[in-house]
Structures are given as structure tokens and as C-alpha cells.
Structure 1
Amino acid sequence: MSYEGKNLETIALHSGWRNDENTGSVAVPIHQTTSYQFNDTAHAASLFGLQEFGNIYTRIMNPTCDVLEQRMAALDGGVAGLAVASGQTASAYSIQNVARAGDNIVSSAHLYGGTYNQFKNNLKEMGIEVRFVDPTDPNNFESATDDKTRAYFAETLPNPKLQVFPIAEVADIGRKHGIPLIVDNTAAPVLCRPFDHGAAVTTYSTTKYIGGHGTTIGGLILDGGNFD
């Protein structure tokens, strides 16, 4: 069932989940397993060969995580998602997926301190240069761009400055150069949908609003399906 056009409340409650045919459970079960049964060796070979979609190992995919990924992608207006261990992991993976040693990214200088230090120190150790710019002028992103720039990065509402990031303007600059804009939308889930303004990827720390209680750590990477 498509939830396109449905109210956000409906998407938040139902997207990504169908009631369990075996138990009739309405709530999403927690699948506490690391591995899964295969029908036969041919079925296993098909799954491991990525010829067929299905569960292989929980580090790769878990049915409970899959509901979260689908639900958040639907809420953000994206096409797919990946749940990870933390928001810092989401930030790192989103960059490492597009940049390698010798490449660079251009990032807003207005960032959560943990992300700033991750970019300034950890990515540098991996050979990825991060060029920090003042985000109040979108043209600063273009000025810092060269043929080794692989991504732009920013926070919708940066912690702690809370100055709204010009998503559409920077996304347009990135599109002109073939560069995806990655937006950390931790501070404004549902209230802002960066994909609607041209962002290619969104990241989240689910520890904040999504978890709703600050007792669990998690992260998400969502694909807007609008960038090749």
C-alpha cells in the first residue's frame, strides 16, 4: 500500500508494516535474531548473490529495522533508508559512501560539536578534506568547490546556533556541479522535509525526537531518490 498523500500521523503509525500473518500482531515485533533460515541452498545462493531480496544477517538487514527505515523514508518523502548505530555513524557513512582519500567535501561550519570534530579529525585521518564555510552565504559553497569535491553537508537547524540553513539555494549549486547535498535533519523531523527543497540525502540521530526519550542511541541515512 502506498502512503503517498496520507496524513503524517497515518504514515507515522502504519508505513512500512503489515500485520503479522502468523500471529496477527498489530504492533511491530522486535526480531532478536542474528541469522535467518533459508529454504534451501539455491535460495541462500540467490540471497547472497543479491539476485533476490530477503534477510541474510541482522548486521545487513533486520525486519524490525526495515520498518523503521521504510517509515522514516516515507515521512521524509524519500525512497529508502538505512538504520545505523548512531547519528555520528550516519554522518560518517553518508560521507564515506561518496568520498575517498584525496577527495574533499564542503561543509557548513555551523555544526553539532561531535560532527565538527568527526569531520575535522577523523575524516582528515582517512584522507578526506573537509572545507568549512559560513553557511549564511550559499555562494561560499560554490567558492570552495573543485573537481575533487564529492558532497555538501549541513544541518537544517544547526546545534546550537539554530540558524536555518538555505537548503534550496545550496542544493541548486550542488546540482549544477553534480554534487549531492547531505542534510542532517535531526532537529526538525517531519517539520522540515529537505528532499522537498532539493537535498539528496538526509541523516538523523534517532536519539532525539525520533526516539522521543533520550534512552537509546541510533541513526538513520535516507535517500531522496533524486540524485544519480
Structure 2
Amino acid sequence: MSRRGFATRQVHEHARRDDGAPIATSRATPIYLTAGFEFGEYDDAAAHFGRGEGYAYTRIGNPTVDAVEHTLAALEGGSQALLLASGQAATTVALLGLLEAGQHIVASTHIYEGTRGLLRDNLTRLGITSTFVDDIDQLDAWDAAILPTTRVLFAESISNASNRLVDIPALAALARRHGITLVIDNTFATPYLLRPLELGADVVVHSASKFLAGHGSVLGGAIVDSGRLDTDSAPRLYPHLVAPGRGGAPSIIDRVGGDARIAYAREAVAPRFGPTPSPLNAFLIGQGIETLSLRVERQSANALAVAQWLEGRPEVVSVDYIGLPSHRDHALAARDLTAGYGSVFSFTLRGDAETARRFVEALEVFTHMTHLGDVRSLVLHPASTSHAALTEAERAALGVQAGTLRVSIGIEDVADLLEDLAQALTVASDVSVAVVA
């Protein structure tokens, strides 16, 4: 290539070994930051488009993304994972891979407001309706909400913001009786604390921007599938999975069996709607996952200490943390969350919205921002931010009052967190308190 022009050489000249392979291989996952990939032989292009072999375009597949998907599937105990550009994209792709116009979702009332908006506002425009279950600990309430058109049950492993839990094994058994799919958003728990697929759930979704990445630097989302599919009910409930492909090609279920759900999401939903993750973001998510257990273990321990401390403060009306015996779902948490209770929870100050304002503005170690799962401790006032569009009655049903604050506890020294909270409580309430470390 040395006789070719500079412009040609500057994009094609790479160091190679004698056998033509790259001169070095990386221990860390390489970042394939490329829109497309070269085909080796002429027939490789046809093999890719015909049988899906190799790589052609990052929107369809990328080695960096694939490496992270493999890790996520293994950690969640699933058969396959699909990495996407955000947690919201993961939820949307998972649901659109299962539902069509005229069908129905039964969802927990206690879910992320972005997901609630997707179900209430966006999917209804596509003819997909939803029923929300308030008493999520009552299996009869879930059963009563299921219609002949229901195709999905949807809940969070640990809810936002009042830390409600669902009995995943019981809900999974109910879904199996009806032949429908149980989807669990496992963002708050992470696979380190809870693996819903091992408890019977069919599909897990994550906002990988949170604990999986861990440092508040990138966006990402993931779908993980169990690989279990009721082939008896699939033709009736999910006919798109058993329909022959174009030109008489085999159906997805004939090609991949129990992985038909995630194969359909990968082949027919994600690439067409286009929420492709950046390979750089995938790399950073993969790097974050390598320290997931260390961070979540520390965050959960810190959160328990903070919640216990807050529960004893006169300025605090209530603390909604599943690690406390006072929480209504503590017994279920003790059964299923044996490695820790998570690090995101809410508490309500004695006072009003102005009290909450003074408290937040007085904090020095906690960061005021709309995020969670960070190594840093974060705080947010839900009534004026994430839950502002709800009515007062709707907020109350979710445990959000004027003085409610949501915290995501980080990995800082817990004594510094308690000191910061103590001084902020003093400012907010004008009550002299002693700092307890």
C-alpha cells in the first residue's frame, strides 16, 4: 500500500502480523466505533443478509454491543439480551415486540412515570390499552384485571418511589396460567440483588444508565429474555411469532424456538424503530458492570444505615425503604432480596414543599438531580419534578406528598452522608439537632 496516495493510506494503513491478523488483541472489550463493517468475500454480504452471519451495520449488530449483551444475559440468568439506547427504549421495544392494536397490558400503578406515560399516552394511540393495579400485593387484583386481549403483565422489582415490591413467583404463575408474558423492570434491584427470570418472569428490562453503568455518564437500556416460551399458547396469543416469514421462510419460532420473543425484538422492532446504542456507551456500560456487585453492596449498606437514621429523626414523618421492618413489603424483601435491599427510597419531611426546598438547597454532599444508581448520592423532590403531572390524589396513592424526597444513596462514607442530612434538617426545620455519625 506504500505506493498508494496519502489519503488512501491514512484510512487503510494498519499494522498487521505476518498472517494478516491485527498486530495486537485487547484485554478490555474493544470499542468498534463504526457505522458499518467490511465484507471479506463477495458472498459474505449475501450470507449476512440471508442468514444473519457476521456484521454489516451497527444498527443491526456490533461486536462491542454483543459483548455487553452476552454479559447481561449471563448475569440475569437469561438466554439472550438486547442492548438499546436507553431504558425507555428497552421498555418500548420489549412491549412493541409483544403487543399489537386491540391488545391490553396489566401494569402495576407503582412504576416509573415515563413508563406510565408510555402506556397511558403513546401506546393508546396505537390501540393498545392498559389497566393499572393499585393493590399490587393482591394476586386477585391482578387476575381480575386480565382480559381476553391481555398479553403482558408489567411491574417493577422495586418500585419508584415508595419501594413497593411484587411477589414475582406468584405473578409468574398467574401469567403462565393465562399463557401471557410477565415483564419485570429490574433497574432498581439489578441482577446482583434480584434475578426475576430465575423467579419465573419471562422478560426483564433495565435502564442501563443507572446501576449497570453506575457513574451517571451514559444512557443505555437492555432487554433480557428467559428463553422460555409457551408454544401451545403462542399461535393464539402471539401469532406474529409463528407466522411464516416473507417468501415462505420459516417462522421465528421455528428458527429459534424459545428465543422467539427477543429474536423478534432484535430483528423486527429495534432495527426498524432505530434506538441503537453507541458502541462507546456499550463499552462504558460493560466497564460499569465489572464493578456492579461492589457498588451495589456498598450502596445498599449505606442506604440501610441512612434509612434507619432518618426513621429516628423527629423532622421525618415516614421512611419508605423495604429494608426497614416498618415497610409493608419488608417480609417479601427479606425473602427475595438476600444480598441487600437496594439504595433508592423516599422519605417524607414534617412540613410542606417549602420545607423540602430548604432541605434540598442546604445539602452539600448530596447532588440535586434527576437520576439514580450513581456512585454519588442524589436527591429529588418528586412532587415538583417526576410526579408533577399527576393529580394530588394520584401522588398520594403513590406515597408522594409535598414533603416527600427521593434519594439514591451512593458509595460515600456514610458518616458524611448523615452529617449532611443532619445539617440540612436543621436548616429546613429550624430545629436544633445533634449530628449523629
Fold-level similarity (TM above 0.5)? yes
Structure 1 residue 22: deviation in Å?
5.2
Q: What aligned pairs does 1:144-183 form with structure 2 within 5 A after superposition?
A: 144-183=145-184
Gaps of 5+ in 2: 1-20, 231-437
Structure 1 residue 52: deviation in Å?
4.3
Structure 1 residue 24: deviation in Å?
2.6
Aligned to 1:28: 29
Aligned to 1:5: none
Distance in 2 between residues matched to 1:196 and 1:60, nearest whole Å: 29
- 1:146-173 superposed Cα distances (whole Å, 9 cap, x missing partner): 2211111000001111112111111100
Aligned to 1:187: 188
Distance in 1 between residues matched to 2:154 and 2:23, nearest whole Å: 44
Q: What aligned pairs does 1:53-202 form with structure 2 within 5 A after superposition?
A: 53-134=53-134, 135-189=136-190, 190-202=192-204
Q: Using CA pairs below 8 Å that are at least 6 residues apart, which structure has the higher relative contact order?
A: 1
Q: Give the match's secondary structure for 1:37.
A: coil
Q: Give the match's secondary structure for 2:154.
A: strand
Distance in 2 between residues matched to 1:22 and 1:141, nearest whole Å: 58
Distance in 1 between residues matched to 2:137 and 2:117, nearest whole Å: 21
Q: Give the match's secondary structure for 1:187.
A: coil
Letter in 2 for 1:227: L
Letter in 2 for 1:160: A
Q: Give the match's secondary structure for 1:29.
A: coil
TM-score by length of 1: 0.88
Aligned to 1:221: 223
Query: What is the root-mean-square deviation in Å for CA atoms of aligned residues?
Result: 1.4
Structure 1 residue 141: deviation in Å?
1.8
Aligned to 1:38: 39
- 1:57-114 superposed Cα distances (whole Å, 9 cap, x missing partner): 1011111111111101000000101111111111111111010011111111110111
Q: Give the match's secondary structure for 2:193.
A: coil
Distance 1:177 1:22, change over 3 A: farther
- 1:101-159 superposed Cα distances (whole Å, 9 cap, x missing partner): 11111111110111111111111111110111121212222111122111110000011
Q: Give the match's secondary structure for 2:175.
A: helix
Letter in 2 for 1:47: H
Structure 1 residue 39: deviation in Å?
2.0
Letter in 1 for 2:35: T
TM-score by length of 2: 0.46
Q: Give the match's secondary structure for 2:46.
A: helix
Letter in 2 for 1:121: D
Structure 1 residue 226: deviation in Å?
1.7
Distance in 2 between residues matched to 1:141 and 1:126, nearest whole Å: 23
Distance in 1 between residues matched to 2:177 and 2:22, nearest whole Å: 48
Looking at secondary structure, tell me which structure has more helix per residue. 2
Letter in 2 for 1:98: L
Distance in 2 between residues matched to 1:29 and 1:43, nearest whole Å: 23
Distance in 1 between residues matched to 2:68 and 2:177, nearest whole Å: 33
Aligned to 1:10: none
- 1:166-217 superposed Cα distances (whole Å, 9 cap, x missing partner): 1111110000110010000000112100011100000000111001011211
Distance in 2 between residues matched to 1:89 and 1:182, nearest whole Å: 14
Gaps of 5+ in 1: 1-19
Distance in 1 between residues matched to 2:92 and 2:160, nearest whole Å: 17
Structure 1 residue 25: deviation in Å?
1.0
Letter in 2 for 1:175: R
Distance in 2 between residues matched to 1:139 and 1:83, nearest whole Å: 34
Q: Give the match's secondary structure for 2:223.
A: strand
Distance in 2 between residues matched to 1:108 and 1:143, nearest whole Å: 13
Distance in 1 between residues matched to 2:137 and 2:127, nearest whole Å: 27
Count of equivalent residues: 208
Distance in 2 between residues matched to 1:192 and 1:216, nearest whole Å: 23
Letter in 1 for 2:87: G
Distance 1:41 1:151, change over 3 A: same
